[in-house]
Amino acid sequence: MPIIIEEKTKVMIQGITGRFGQFIARNMLDTGTNLVAGVTPGRGGSKVWDVPVYNSVRDAWDAHGPINSTVILVPGPGAKLALVEAVNFKFDTILMEVERVPLHDALECVAMCRKAGIRLLGPGSAGLVSPGYGSLGVFGSPEELAKVAFIPGRVGVISRSGGQTSTLAFNVCSAGFGISTAIHIGTEQVMGTTLPEILPLFEADDGTDAIVYYGEIGGVMEEEASEIIKEKKFTKPFIGYIAGRGLPAGIRFSHASAIIEGGKGTAEGKVKALQECGAYVVEGPEDIGPTLQKILK
């Protein structure tokens, strides 16, 4: 089984009628997602790709609930208000596929979801895909990409970068394996769900044999994940690549959260922590496939 999304998972999109919303909706439908509703205030009664649109989350929930997941595509300054509306309902997962959410708004969103018992992916997460089951967000389509990077299989992908999520998945599939679930946990300074919180989900998934991971400098998620592995809360092979080695303190790399501060968050520290707990650390994404072949074949 995949993590977070299954064939029967009911999904809705907040902000479905905009150009980006329509694009994401088409992508999710193409991956087999059970997309039951969309929400855009003032556009109730219309349809996007034959998916009914409602004026509020309440209207969508009353018509199709309970709904398992919602995808928020509202631009950064309004994203918090969209989430405030959603946390009043018992969603399992909320994906905020929104970048540049104001920091204080992001902190409030994380706190609200934790209090409500809702898993928050993002802000700044491009989503996830479980090939053959469905997706939340952008991954898994078009068909040309799916055929080479999102083939169903038994290797999980976790990434700090949206683009590198597809790169890692491509390397996995090129090595003769396939993807159970590929997930982008987010690029912002504050994230609702972190690497150590995702690992137990893959541990419990009988359909995942190993994990590949793309990390960056900044933060201490990898160090925390190494403790999870040491404590045997995650026992499957873990193959990681950490980008940004050799950068000095204060230099931002790629994403807002990828910055070394106070001597913490260095690539060297992350590599050391992962190696000491028994994880495999590679020099580049191109080494992921050969390493998987050694481990799983």
Quick check: 241 and 282 in contact, CB under 8 A? yes
Instruction: Return the bridge partners of 193, or none.
Output: none
Quick check: 174 and 147 in contact, CB under 8 A? no
Catalytic hit among 64, 104, 184, 255: 255
HEC sequence for the chain:
CCCCCCCCCEEEEECCCCHHHHHHHHHHHHCCCEEEEEECCCCCCCEECCEEEECCHHHHHHHHCCCCEEEECCCHHHHHHHHHHHCCCCCCEEEECCCCCCHHHHHHHHHHHHHHCCEEECCCCCEEEECCCEEEECCCCCHHHHHHHCCEEEEEEEECCHHHHHHHHHHHHHCCCCEEEEEECCCCCCCCCCHHHHHHHHHCCCCCCEEEEEEECCCCHHHHHHHHHHCCCCCCCEEEEEECCCCCCCCECCCCCCECECCECCHHHHHHHHHHCCCEECCCHHHHHHHHHHHHC
255 is catalytic: yes
Nearest to 135 by CA among 20, 25, 14, 17: 25
Q: Name residue, tokens 């109730």.
A: 44
Report, as residue numbers or ranges, the catalytic residues. 255
